[in-house]
Amino acid sequence: MQSDRQYYISLGMLGCLFFVFGLVSWVNSILVPYFKVACELESGVQTYLVTFAFYIAYLVMTVPASYLLRKTGYKAGTLIGLWIMAAGALMFWPAALTRSYTLFLMALFVIGTALAILQSVANPFVTIIGPHESAAKRISAMGICNKFAGIAAPLLFAAAVISPEDEMIMSQVESGILTGAAKEAALDEMILGVIPPYVILAVLLFIFGILFYKSPVRDINPDRDNATPAVGGGDRKSVWKYPYLVLGVIALFAHLGSQQISVSTIIGYAQSMGMSLDTAKVFPSLTLACILIGYLAGVILIPKYLSQQKSLVICTVTGLVLSVLVLVLPEKASIWSLVLLGVPNSLIYAGIWPLAIRGLGRWTSLGSSLLVMALCGNAVLSLLYGYVSDHLSLQASYWLLIPCFVYMVFYAVYGYKINKW
C-alpha cells in the first residue's frame, strides 16, 4: 500500500505527463499559419501537412508501440516515449537552419510517434495509482491538465517565437511587399526563432523522463496482467465481431478529426477576415477554454444528474447545430460558433470510449489500441479540409463538420447498441 505522499507525487507526475500531451499537440494550431509563411507554402494541402504528419503517427505506430510496451513495461515505455519526443523536438534545430519543411514534418512525425506510445500508457497509469472507485476523478483531473496546456500552448509559442518584427515580416510577405533575396534573408532569420523553445523543451522532456522513471508511480506488467483472458467476450473469435466497437472507432475518428479542424484552422479563418496573427492567435485558446468549461460541467453533472450516454446525445446534437451555424452565419459571427463547438466537443471523447470498449473481455487491450489509432482522424480530416479549402472558401469548407456530427449522433442514439452485425 503506497503512502499518501507517494500517491500525490504519482498524481502530480501524471498531471505533468498529460500537460505535455496538451502542450505539444495543440501548438500545431499556430504552427500551421507560421510555417505557411516561413516555409512559403502555396496550398491548403501543404499547410495542413503539419497536422497530418503529427497525427498519422497514431495510425502507423500504435501497434508497434503496444509491442514495445509488452517488452519494456509501461514505466520504461514512458521513459522511452519522452526521450523520443525530446529527439523530435531537437530535430526542429536542423530543420530551422535549413528552412526545410520536410525536416519539420519528420520532426512532427517523431513527436507523434512518442505520443502514440505515451497515450497507450497514460490512462492505465491513472487507473492503477489509486482506488478504483476514484479513478473517474483522477481521469477528470488529468483532462483538466491537458486542456489547460492546450489553452496555454498557442499563446506561449507565439510569445516565445513570434516577435513584433516577425509579425511585420509575415505581413509584408503575405501582402507581397517583401520579395526576392530580401524576403529569403528575412524568412531565414525568422525561422531561427523556433530553435530556443524546442531545444529547451527537449531538455525538459529528457529530464522529466528520468524523473518519471524514478518516481513512485507503480509499474504495469502487460504480459502478467493480460496472461489470463478476461471474462466475457471470449466467445468471439475476432475483435471485429463487436459492431459497437468498430462503429465507435469510426465515431471517435470523426470526433477527433472534426475537433482538430475547429481548432487548427481557426487562426487561418480569422486571418481571412483581415485579423492580424496577434489577434487571431487567441482563438484556439478560446476554443480550448470552452472545452475546459464543458469538461468541468461534465465532472459536476455526470453521472449524478446526467448519464454518460445522454450527455453524449446532447453534445453530438449541439455540435451538429453549431456546425450548421458556422456555415450559415456571417463570417464574424460564425467564428464564434466555431469557438463554442469546444463545449460539446469536450465530453464526446469520454462518451464514446466507454460505450465502445465495454464487454470486450480478452479483446479489451486490442480494442483500446484501435481506439487510440482513431486519433489519426486529426490527420486525415485536417488534410481533407486543406484540400477542400483550395477549391472553396474557408467558411464553406466547414461543411466537413456536418457528416462527422451526423454520424456521431447516430452512434450516440443507436450505433452503440448494435451487438451483432
46-96 pLDDT per residue, tens: 877 887 888 888 888 887 887 787 788 888 889 999 999 999 999 999 999
Q: Do 387 and 278 reside in the same domain of the chain?
A: yes
Q: Which of 10-24, 211-225, 254-268 has the lowest mean pLDDT?
A: 211-225
Q: Is the pLDDT of residue 135 over 80?
A: no
Q: Name every residue whose Cβ is closer than 8 Å to that of residue 176 and which is 6 or more positions away in sequence.
A: none
Residue 276: Cβ within 10 Å count: 12
pLDDT computed for residue 68 by the predictor: 82
pLDDT computed for residue 61 by the predictor: 85
pLDDT computed for residue 3 by the predictor: 66
Q: Is the pLDDT of residue 223 over 60?
A: no
Of the candidates 344, 351, 339, which has an alpha carbon nearest to the alpha carbon of residue 317?
344
Residue 103: band (very low, low, confident or very high) from pLDDT cuts 50, 70, 90: very high
Residue 233 lies in a domain: no
Q: Do 45 and 97 reside in the same domain of the chain?
A: yes
C-alpha cell at 76: 520504461
Q: Do 356 and 262 reside in the same domain of the chain?
A: yes
pLDDT computed for residue 127 by the predictor: 63
Q: How much is the average pLDDT of 273-295?
A: 83
Q: Nearest-5° angle of CA 390, CA 394, CA 400?
A: 90
d(CA 374, CA 59): 7
Q: Do 212 and 261 reside in the same domain of the chain?
A: no
C-alpha cell at 415: 450505433
Residue 229 lies in a domain: no
Reduced to 3 states (helix: H, G, I; strand: E, B; else coil), residue 179 is coil
Residue 155: Cβ within 10 Å count: 15
- The total of structural domains in the chain comes to 2
Q: What is the pLDDT of residues 355-391, one digit of tens each?
A: 887 777 767 667 777 888 888 888 889 889 888 988 8
Whole-Å CA distances, 421 to 35, 249, 354, 407, 418: 45, 15, 20, 18, 7
pLDDT computed for residue 365 by the predictor: 66
Percent of the chain with pLDDT over 70: 91
pLDDT computed for residue 21 by the predictor: 87
Residue 313: band (very low, low, confident or very high) from pLDDT cuts 50, 70, 90: very high
- For position 163, which CATH number holds? 1.20.1250.20
pLDDT computed for residue 109 by the predictor: 93
Residue 232: band (very low, low, confident or very high) from pLDDT cuts 50, 70, 90: very low
Is the Cβ–Cβ distance between 47 and 32 less than 8 Å?
A: yes
Residue 375 lies in a domain: yes
Residue 150 lies in a domain: yes
Residue 19: Cβ within 10 Å count: 20
d(CA 45, CA 286): 25
C-alpha cell at 20: 505535455
pLDDT computed for residue 93 by the predictor: 95
Q: Do 113 and 262 reside in the same domain of the chain?
A: no
pLDDT computed for residue 231 by the predictor: 39
Q: How much is the average pLDDT of 205-224?
A: 80
φ, ψ of residue 310 in degrees (nearest 5): -65, -35
Percent of the chain with pLDDT over 90: 26
Q: What is the pLDDT of residues 161-213, one digit of tens each?
A: 877 787 788 778 777 787 788 888 888 888 888 899 899 999 999 999 999 99
Is the Cβ–Cβ distance between 264 and 47 less than 8 Å?
A: no
Q: Do 114 and 179 reside in the same domain of the chain?
A: yes
pTM equals 0.75
Q: Do 378 and 314 reside in the same domain of the chain?
A: yes
Is the Cβ–Cβ distance between 211 and 386 less than 8 Å?
A: no
Q: Do 318 and 393 reside in the same domain of the chain?
A: yes
DSSP state of 42: -
Q: Do 253 and 214 reside in the same domain of the chain?
A: no
Residue 227 lies in a domain: no
- Structural domain including 343 reads 238-421
Residue 268: Cβ within 10 Å count: 21
Q: Is the pLDDT of residue 239 over 60?
A: yes
